[in-house]
Every structure is written in C-alpha cells, then in structure tokens.
Structure 1
Amino acid sequence: MTEEPASVLRFRRRAMGCIWELTLCPGQPDAPALAEAAFEQVSLAERLLSVFLPSSDISRINREGQSGPVKVSPLTFRALAHAFQLSELTGGAFDIACGALVRLWGFEGGEGHKPAQDEITRALKCTGRHNVLLDEASGTVRLARPGVRLNPGGYGKGFGLDLAMEALRAAGVQSALMHAGTSSVAALGVDSTGRPWQVGIRIPGQNEGRAAVLELQDWSLSVSGISEQSFSDGGRRFGHVLAPRTGWPVEREGWAVALCESAAASDALATAALVLGPEGTERILRGGGEARVIFYDEKGRPIREVGGGLEPGGARTESHVSE
C-alpha cells in the first residue's frame, strides 16, 4: 500500500486478522523499543474491541449488556463515544451497533449467506446507536433491548492506528508510517527525504493494479470496497458492507478512499461513503473541514472527489491522483 524511500526501518506484527507494518526513518533512536510500544497499543485495541475475544469489553457488552450496565475500560468508553459521534455525523450510514445484522448475514467471522426478509426486519429493530446507553459518570455501557450487538468493524483498526500514533508522538517520534493490512494507514510527519509519505492505493482484488498515489503528512487514509469479502446468490453479489437503515449489503461497484486526521474517523468515513455514494457523502461533508473522500470505479479509475466537515481542519495533507 505504501511507496517508501529505499532506506527505512520496517517492523511487522499480526493483529486484528491482518499484518500491521510500522515504518521508521533510518537513525531513529531506540527504533525496536518504539515499534514494540506502538504494536502494544494495537494489541490493546484488539483486546478491548474484538468480537472474537470472549474477554474483550465489546464481547462482555454483547454478552451481559442486556442484563445491566457493564463497566468498561476508559479507552473502550472513549472509542464507543467517538464511534457514536461518527454515526451521528454520517446520518447512521456508519454504525457499530449493527452487530445483529453482521451476524445475520454471516459476516462475523464466517461465510456470507442471504437471510430471509423477516429475519432482516427483526435484526433492524436491534440496530442503531439509540439501542446502546453510555453512562460517562460510571463508565458503563448498557444495551437497551435483547438482541442488540456491537461490532466495531470499520472502526477498530483505525482506533488501533490512532493509539499507536499517540504512543509514538508521546515518545518524541516525528516521522513514521503505519498501516493495518491494506485498508488503513496513518502518517506522522514526513519521510526521510523530507517529503510527505507516498501511499499507493491498490485496486481491491488486483495484486498489481494501482489506482492512485496519495501524499500523507500527519493524516490518515482508509479504503472500503466489497471486492474482497462478498458472496453470490441468485446472480447477485453481496458484500460485507451493510447499510444500517435497510439491513441489506451495499451492492455499489467500486470503492471509496477516505482521508481524515484521525484513522478511526477515516475508517468509519470510508464505510459510510460506500453506503451513501458520492451525493450522500457530499451532503454529510459540508461544513468547511478538511476530511474528504475519493470515489473510484470498479477498474480503479477516479470518478469523483468530495470534501467537507466531518472533522475540524488544521491537519496538513496533499494528494494527487494518477490513473
């Protein structure tokens, strides 16, 4: 996903079902220790937010939240509060309280399958941030009705990137690039040549294809598409990105690249953009901020760029798109 100077320091770790890679500039003091500290933050995010770990805060909420308030880590509470804010800002196109739908369609760690419409209707009643009650004073989370489930897909990797970048900044690192698999990347400062980090965006499903090179500096980027996680039924292809309002997968061809100062926000915005399409995304991004989305068709050709106010401005970012 990235294009880096020839001489860099790379560190890799597997987490959240993919390979994470941290790039530091040559000569960075204590690079191995810094990498370990960054990866520990990624592991922490996974331990708190994974639906696949029974001991995670998210799993405990899903298991116990219908019976009463569940005490969670301050970091988990912070993540949930931010995720629900992003849900509101995207008009519900992104919503981590859609776990009932994700499980129903078979996308929670299994192969997808098409459910009956009456099953979708029942799952929709258990979907939406209004079904999750946060109590800041007590640091607890409660589910408002049986069947409600949280699933932080489209947010968790970005949150892990944000925590890792915070750790690096706190340690005095001024230049770093970290990516979570091929879907999200966060940049700190500039590369060893003094230029913004060069990030090459790969076309989903095509190992050699590349649709764009974007320049990132103190900025984050996430990609969302349905090419790599989908199934076919009755001649139709259904992807893993679900529309929380309808309960059905997005069938839009192509993909969306979101750029925000926060990696968690870019993760969420990329998902929302795929649900909303260019026109809907343009509506939610009006407001003067710097977050933006670039839409590509199924062959990786840029078709539209929209930008606006999901986040306050102030971060530095530059990009160019090459076909």
Structure 2
Amino acid sequence: MAKRTKKPSDREFSSALRQIGAKDKVEEAEFERRVVAAFDAAKWKAIRLPDGGRTRPGDLLAIRSDLGQERRYVIDCTREVNPGSVKRAYEDFRYSLETSKRTPDFDEYWLVGPYIIGEPMRKRPNNDRRFRVFDLKHLEALLATPKPKRGAATTRIGKAVRANEKEINLAINGLILQIDAKLEALNGERPNSDDGRARIARETSDFRRMRAALECIREMVAAFKKGKAPEQEVVRATKTFRQGVEEWWTNKSEEIMTSTAKGAVLVSSIGLLALMKADSVAAITAVATVVNGGAVQRVKQIGTAIKRLGKRTFAADNDGAVQ
C-alpha cells in the first residue's frame, strides 16, 4: 500500500515562502553589492536610491563626469534578466517619464542582472536609446578601464626609459641615498637661533620635496615599462623633478656653491636628467658652475641667466628635453 504524502499545513507553507523570500533578498543584496563594486572600480559614483515606486524606479544612481558634464544613470538591479523583467522595467521607466512633472534627472535607465535568459524581446524596446539591458559580465566589460598599450615610445624621455631603465633606477636609488644622508645630517643639527632653525626647516622641506619627486619618477618608470601607465605620466613626473631642481639652483645657488653635499646632490640630479634625456641648458649651466667654481657674484649672474633660459626651455620643450 502506497504511503500517503502529508500535505503541508498553511503555517508550514507560509514559513517556506518566508524562507524563500529571505534567501531572495540576500541574493539581491549581494548582487547589488557586486554592481556597486563594479562602478566603484571604474571610478563612478554609485548612490543607493530610496524606494520610489513606479514613479521613481531603480535601485542605484550611477554618476560619472564626461568632458566636464555630469552624466546620471538609474540602475535597476534584478535577480534575472528575462522577457518579463525587461517588459516590467521598461514599463516602469516609461511610466516614470510620463508621470513626472519635470525634466527627468537622469540620462539613461539600465536594467542589470546576473545573467540574461532568452532574447525574445529587444534589449532596447521601441529602440529607446535611454533604456539599456546588461548582465553583470557585460556591465563590467563596459566599465573596465582600458590598459595602456605598450607601443613604441614617442618622446625622448619615453625612449630613454625604454633603453635605460636599470641605469635610471640605479641613479635614482643613489640620489635618494644622498638626500637621506643630508636629511639625517640636518636632523642632527641643533641651532640655538631662530634663523638657524628656520634654515633647517627650509632645507629639510627642499630635500623632502626632491625625494618625493624621485619616488614618483621611480613609480612611473616601473608602471610605464609594465604598460600600466601612459608615457605622458613619466614625462610629467620628470618635468616636475627638473623644474624643482632648476628652481632650487636659481634660489639657493650660493648655498649650493659653498656646500659639498648640496653640490653633489645637484650634480647627481642633473646626471639623472641627462640619463633620461631631460637635461636642459639651465641645468647643464648649473653643473658647470658647481664643477668649475667661481665667485659669488658670478653665481648670481648665472642664476639670473638660468631664469631666462629656463622659461624659454619649458616653453619650447614639448616632450621634456631640449631639442
């Protein structure tokens, strides 16, 4: 005799429905978190929207800047993209437009789900370009930042980095050691006067700024060689360092001329710039002055000339080196 299956009671049936509903909510929350993470990774701003019913559908508002103009996208997250969910979302989208008494505050409406089932309905019903449908894979592909191509370098600095990466890194490391030694010496000084303490503060600031610029060059060189940073980032970092060195010489030439340690830092800095094909007339003149020596008055004259040369050099130089 076949065993009779017990029919679930109303209470058991309701409990099962609640468990299914709770599981669905957990899955929806997890999927929404993944969608937010995709926008965060793409440097978009994603804001959770309050429940506005059919007059204000959608779960998220994604915002990005396009040529200085803000673009806004309503994101409707669904457990599954299928003909029914597309139809429902499009009707909600149209209803919100038709019932709104003002111009919509978003540019497009996106329906996003973990996957898409079937293709019986167009992803852009009525060819409405403001309504789009994605699964998570295609959304992440759309938002992905394209990696810089490792093509041939086009600037003198870029070509030098390609050819001399090891030598450049050795020069940077050696220069950082020189700067660290100078910073340690400054830290050990204990002047009694206010002028002395102010001098130490200024010099410490100068060397720390120079060290930070070198670290930036080192990071950009490594990223550029791996194809993770565009060539112009290396050029920009190198120009920043060169400008700092030239300003340091222009403003502190007398101090540099009378200090062996500072003179050595200047010569090493210009050597690094020469290795990167970013040396300038002003920089070379500064090194020649330090190496050959000269009277203070002569240093002042050269400093004035460097200011003029530096302005012309930066104005004419498009890739970080004198042509």
TM range (shorter): under 0.3
Greater helix percent: which structure?
2
Greater gyration radius:
2
Greater strand percent: which structure?
1
> Of the two structures, which has the highest relative contact order with CA contacts closer than 8 Å and spacing of 6 or more?
1
Structure 2 length-normalised TM: 0.25
